[in-house]
């Protein structure tokens, strides 16, 4: 019940481990703080119940010596929070700011209630006649960085790959990008994570991660 991280879908991406590590760090710190503060409250509720004849202590907390009791834990909170940000910054940079060179580039366009997937084909350029279009299914090789070029035809959707710890809204009028490098072959669900209207519930696609040779065979089949 309290082991929150066990509820995460098993990670299947290179960047995913870092995000899980960050979640574990935050979880450990917040659990510690919860135990400390709720414990302190519990102690006070028992220890300082009203007993006849015993009066509360007249402590106003205006004197620096008294306030120090509170300022010290606050400083610790600030320090730990900043540490979380220090640990988080590189994870954010790798996930969102850096673009690894990826030989597999796929165009994914959200629309009211499907994901349109376009492969450039052997010539490597989109908009040529050797492109192939799919609906709600993306095929990628395992162990290779894949870059997704994201757009939307109508409203805001959000591409979410829970198993690969990837999420990026797709906004009409803005070409955005995200990337991932899958580690384990398999079929991973791709739900839309932003309210997009009538069909938002159930709007999902599938990411099929193939072993390299199986992906090569799939490519040959599609473009033969």
129 near other proteins, rule: CB under 8 A: no
Q: Specify whether the CB–CB gap between 178 and 160 falls below 8 A.
A: no
Q: Which residues of 79-108 are buried (b: 16+ CB within 10 A; e: fewer)?
A: eeeeeeeeeeeebeeebeeeeeebebbbbb
45 near other proteins, rule: CB under 8 A: yes
Q: Specify whether the CB–CB gap between 179 and 105 falls below 8 A.
A: no
Two tokens, residue 72: 């010290």
7 near other proteins, rule: CB under 8 A: yes
Q: Which of 116, 131, 147, 204 binds other proteins (CB under 8 A)?
A: 204
143 near other proteins, rule: CB under 8 A: no
149 near other proteins, rule: CB under 8 A: no
Residue 57 DSSP class: P
- Number of residues engaging other proteins in binding (CB under 8 A): 87
Q: Which of residues 60-99 bind other proteins (CB under 8 A)?
A: 60-62, 66-67, 69-71, 73-74, 77-78, 81-82, 84-85, 88-89, 91-92, 95-97
Least separation in angstroms between CB 174 and other proteins? 5
Q: Please list, in sequence order, all residues whose beta carbon lies within 8 angstroms of the beta carbon of residue 6, skipping any fewer than 6 positions away.
A: none
Q: Which of residues 154-193 bind other proteins (CB under 8 A)?
A: 154-156, 158, 160, 162-163, 165-174, 176, 189, 191-193
């Amino acid at each position: 019940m309290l082991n929150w991280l066990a509820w995460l879908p098993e990670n299947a991406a290179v960047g995913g481990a870092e995000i899980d590590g960050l979640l574990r760090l935050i979880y450990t710190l917040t659990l510690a703080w919860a135990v400390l503060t709720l414990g302190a409250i519990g102690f006070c509720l028992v220890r300082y119940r009203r007993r006849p004849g015993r009066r509360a202590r007249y402590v106003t907390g205006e004197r620096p010596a008294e306030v120090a009791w509170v300022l010290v834990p606050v400083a610790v909170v600030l320090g730990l929070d900043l540490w979380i940000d220090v640990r988080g910054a590189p994870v954010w940079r790798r996930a969102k700011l850096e673009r690894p060179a990826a030989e597999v580039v796929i165009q994914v366009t959200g629309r009211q209630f499907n994901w349109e997937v376009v492969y450039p084909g052997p010539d490597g350029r989109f908009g040529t006649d050797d492109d192939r279009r799919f609906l709600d299914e993306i095929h990628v090789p395992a162990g290779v960085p894949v870059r997704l070029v994201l757009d939307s035809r109508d409203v805001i959707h959000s591409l979410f790959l829970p198993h690969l710890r990837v999420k990026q809204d797709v906004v009409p009028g803005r070409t955005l990008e995200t990337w991932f490098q899958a580690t384990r072959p398999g079929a991973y669900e791709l739900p839309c994570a932003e309210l997009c209207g009538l069909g938002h519930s159930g709007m999902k696609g599938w990411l099929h991660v193939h072993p390299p040779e199986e992906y090569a065979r799939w490519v040959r089949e599609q473009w033969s």
